[in-house]
């Protein structure tokens, strides 16, 4: 875990090789004696040679050196890749940073891919991640506070926020929850999300996880708090609202018309992913009268040779699609995409040819699956995939009445959720001031106010006239 060259050059060599720094022949004491005699001060009051400060200030040319007086701090340093120097008769030890373990370099994001924008992602080293954040934020008000979570693992956690923007109550609440976790080990950001979020029963995420430093920097400038965990290439953002899960980092890099068009597509994909199979089964089972006659005859003729009920067909294809998606993630990447496409084509064609499912059902399942891929956040997309089966059951049992009841309960859950005290559906409900950020993207020169639902210390993001060159 250590860099042997650093130990040899900056620890052992200064201590062992004879030079002016590590050679002491008593001249320091003699000079002090002569000076004291000149000042008519008793020789008994001669200052003794301070070996501790001499080693700390003169002999160790290491940029990260600290004194340690407790064995638990010493053990933590050794376990994290430091070396410790003990000197006889000195009541402290010297913790020297000589970490040398291998780590992954900064690479493009693998899960949050964009076309126009920065191509950097977090890595597993927390210090590299904080440096990426600080390089983008580039302000002395960016505060990074280090905490330790886990009595055995003692995982380092960094709480990042802008001191002049973030609400102090929000920062204190984040640190309070992190400091009051009683567990042996913390292994991932996903585990930390479950430990500090408020609405874990519903399955709807109330914290955002991202691997992009530019996205975190944008949230920091809005007054949010970013949490980094050592050993994990993802950051946690708190608080978040519903519209954050439907936003992409690319929205700020595109023209307003393009960004809003893509946001509208994602909003449509949200409802298709959640409701399309349930509405289809409700229409075919209870509400055939709303279909055009030709389309109804087409559906009936396609299902003429299918011996199974429509609920069996739908569940069979939905589960098969989820299996194809999961197996495509687990196989080696060169054949993952091929497996997904070929598996879906062969499975769908064979199922239709064998009269197990109808062709129109294949279209519904395929559109639903494609819509789920359009959701930028993986965790939020996952919750839609789970809730989709609930709406399928409601549509099969009670038609539009069941789907309406399910939507009422689902909206009630969303409106009752909070993320670190912020309403999850803000600013849609409760309705807030026009200055807060809404669902659609405003032009860059109109983004004058920060989101009011976060209650930042500094509400104004830029002057009312930002394009001064026009005036």
| Domain identity same for 266 and 413 | yes
| Domain identity same for 138 and 76 | no
CA 145 – CA 168 distance, rounded (Å): 14
- Helical packing angle, 378-416 and 310-330, nearest 10°: 130
Name the one residue in this structure whose structure tokens are 């075919």. 284
Task: Assign 3-state DSSP to the chain and report helix, strand, coil percentages, each to 5.
Answer: 50, 10, 40
Instruction: Look at residue 42 and tell me whether its pLDDT is greater than 60.
Output: no
Q: Where residue 30 falls among pLDDT bands split at 50, 70, 90?
A: very low
* 226 occurs within a structural domain: yes
Provide the token pair at 259.
Answer: 């960004």
| Domain identity same for 270 and 222 | no
| Domain identity same for 206 and 265 | no
Read off the pLDDT of residues 298-311 as tens digits, 9 standing for 90 and up.
878 877 777 888 88
Per-residue model confidence (pLDDT) at position 161: 94
* 455 occurs within a structural domain: no
Q: Which residue has the higher pLDDT, 204 or 36?
A: 204
CA 445 – CA 462 distance, rounded (Å): 9
Q: Is 2 helix (H, G, I), strand (E, B) or coil?
A: strand
CA 358 – CA 303 distance, rounded (Å): 5
Distances in Å between the Cα of 124 and the Cα atoms of 111, 114, 131, 187, 231 are 15, 21, 13, 12, 4
Q: Is 146 helix (H, G, I), strand (E, B) or coil?
A: strand
Q: Taking the CA of residue 232 as centre, how many other CA atoms within 13 Å lie in the half-sphere pointing to its CB?
A: 21
* 394 occurs within a structural domain: yes
User: Of 52, 82, 97, which marks where a domain is finished?
Assistant: 97
CA 81 – CA 97 distance, rounded (Å): 7
Q: Against a cut of 0.85, is the pTM above it?
A: no
Mean pLDDT, residues 422-436: 70
| Domain identity same for 234 and 261 | no
Q: Where residue 38 falls among pLDDT bands split at 50, 70, 90?
A: low
> Residue 279: in which H helix or E strand, if any?
helix 256-285
| Domain identity same for 135 and 190 | yes
Query: What is the pLDDT of the chain when averaged over all its residues?
Result: 83
Proportion of the chain above pLDDT 90, given as a percent:
26
Read off the pLDDT of residues 215-257 as tens digits, 9 standing for 90 and up.
999 999 999 999 999 989 999 998 999 888 988 888 888 888 8
| Domain identity same for 318 and 413 | yes
Per-residue model confidence (pLDDT) at position 32: 47
Read off the pLDDT of residues 79-117 as tens digits, 9 standing for 90 and up.
888 899 998 888 899 998 888 777 777 888 888 888 888
Proportion of the chain above pLDDT 70, given as a percent:
88
* 461 occurs within a structural domain: no
Name the one residue in this structure whose structure tokens are 């924008």. 117
* 449 occurs within a structural domain: no
| Domain identity same for 43 and 80 | yes
Read off the pLDDT of residues 143-176 as tens digits, 9 standing for 90 and up.
999 999 988 888 899 999 999 899 999 999 999 9
* 208 occurs within a structural domain: yes
| Domain identity same for 397 and 346 | yes
Pair 442, 256: CB distance under 8 Å: yes
Per-residue model confidence (pLDDT) at position 438: 67
* 438 occurs within a structural domain: no
Number of independent structural domains in the chain: 3
Q: Is 340 helix (H, G, I), strand (E, B) or coil?
A: helix
| Domain identity same for 287 and 392 | yes
| Domain identity same for 260 and 389 | yes
CA 67 – CA 87 distance, rounded (Å): 12
DSSP assignment of 160-216: EEETTTS-HHHHHHHHHHHHT---S----HHHHHHHH-S-TTT----SEEE--HHHH
Print burial letters for 190-229: b (CB count within 10 Å at least 16), e (below 16): ebbbebbbebeeeebbbbbbbbbbbbbbbbbbbbbbbbbb
CA 48 – CA 50 distance, rounded (Å): 6
Burial of 115 (0-12, 13-18, 19+ CB in 10 A): exposed
Phi, psi of 407 (to 5 degrees): -65, -40
Mean pLDDT, residues 121-128: 89
> Residue 143: in which H helix or E strand, if any?
strand 142-149
User: Of 97, 118, 147, which marks where a domain is finished?
Assistant: 97
Q: Which of 22-36, 128-142, 298-312 has the highest mean pLDDT?
A: 128-142
CA 334 – CA 46 distance, rounded (Å): 76
Domain of residue 379, residue span: 255-423
* 359 occurs within a structural domain: yes
Pair 150, 192: CB distance under 8 Å: no
| Domain identity same for 284 and 318 | yes
Report the C-alpha dihedral over residues 328, 329, 333, 338, rounded to 10 degrees: 10
Provide the token pair at 340.
Answer: 């997904």
């Amino acid at each position: 875990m250590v860099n042997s060259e650093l130990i040899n050059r900056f620890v052992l060599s200064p201590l062992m090789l004879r030079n002016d720094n590590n050679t002491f022949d008593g001249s320091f004491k003699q000079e002090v004696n002569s000076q004291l005699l000149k000042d008519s001060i008793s020789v008994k009051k001669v200052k003794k040679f301070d070996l501790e400060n001499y080693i700390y200030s003169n002999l160790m040319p290491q940029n990260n050196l600290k004194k340690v007086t407790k064995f638990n701090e010493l053990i933590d340093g050794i376990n994290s890749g430091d070396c410790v120097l003990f000197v006889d008769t000195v009541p402290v030890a010297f913790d020297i940073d000589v970490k040398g373990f291998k780590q992954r370099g900064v690479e493009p994001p693998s899960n949050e891919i964009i076309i126009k924008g920065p191509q950097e992602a977090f890595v597993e080293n927390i210090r590299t991640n904080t440096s990426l954040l600080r390089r983008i934020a580039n302000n002395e008000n960016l505060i990074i506070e280090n905490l330790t979570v886990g009595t055995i693992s003692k995982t380092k956690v960094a709480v990042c926020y802008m001191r002049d923007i973030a609400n102090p109550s929000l920062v204190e609440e984040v640190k309070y929850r992190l400091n009051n976790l009683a567990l042996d080990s913390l292994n991932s950001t996903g585990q930390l999300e479950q430990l500090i979020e408020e609405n874990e029963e519903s399955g709807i995420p109330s914290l955002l996880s991202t691997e992009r430093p530019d996205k975190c920097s944008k949230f920091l400038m809005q007054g949010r708090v970013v949490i980094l965990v050592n050993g994990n290439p993802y950051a946690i953002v708190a608080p978040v609202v519903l519209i954050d899960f439907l936003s992409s980092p690319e929205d700020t890099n595109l023209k307003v018309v393009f960004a809003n068009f893509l946001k509208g597509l994602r909003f449509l994909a949200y409802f298709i992913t959640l409701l399309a199979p349930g509405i289809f089964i409700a229409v075919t089972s209870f509400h055939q009268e709303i279909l055009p006659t030709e389309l109804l005859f087409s559906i009936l003729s396609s299902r003429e040779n299918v011996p199974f009920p429509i609920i069996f067909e739908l569940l069979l294809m939905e589960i098969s699609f989820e299996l194809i998606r999961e197996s495509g993630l687990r196989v080696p990447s060169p054949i993952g995409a091929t497996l997904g496409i070929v598996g879906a084509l062969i499975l769908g064609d064979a199922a239709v040819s064998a009269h197990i499912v109808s062709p129109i059902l294949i279209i519904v399942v395929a559109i639903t699956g494609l819509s789920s891929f359009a959701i930028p956040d993986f965790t939020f997309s996952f919750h839609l995939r789970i809730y989709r089966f609930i709406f399928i059951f409601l549509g099969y049992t009670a038609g539009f009445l069941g789907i309406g009841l399910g939507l009422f309960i689902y909206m009630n859950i969303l409106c009752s959720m909070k993320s670190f005290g912020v309403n999850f559906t803000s600013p849609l409900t409760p309705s807030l001031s026009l200055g807060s950020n809404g669902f659609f993207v405003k032009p860059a020169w109109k983004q004058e106010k920060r989101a009011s639902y976060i209650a930042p210390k500094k509400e104004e993001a830029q002057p009312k006239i930002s394009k001064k060159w026009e005036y």
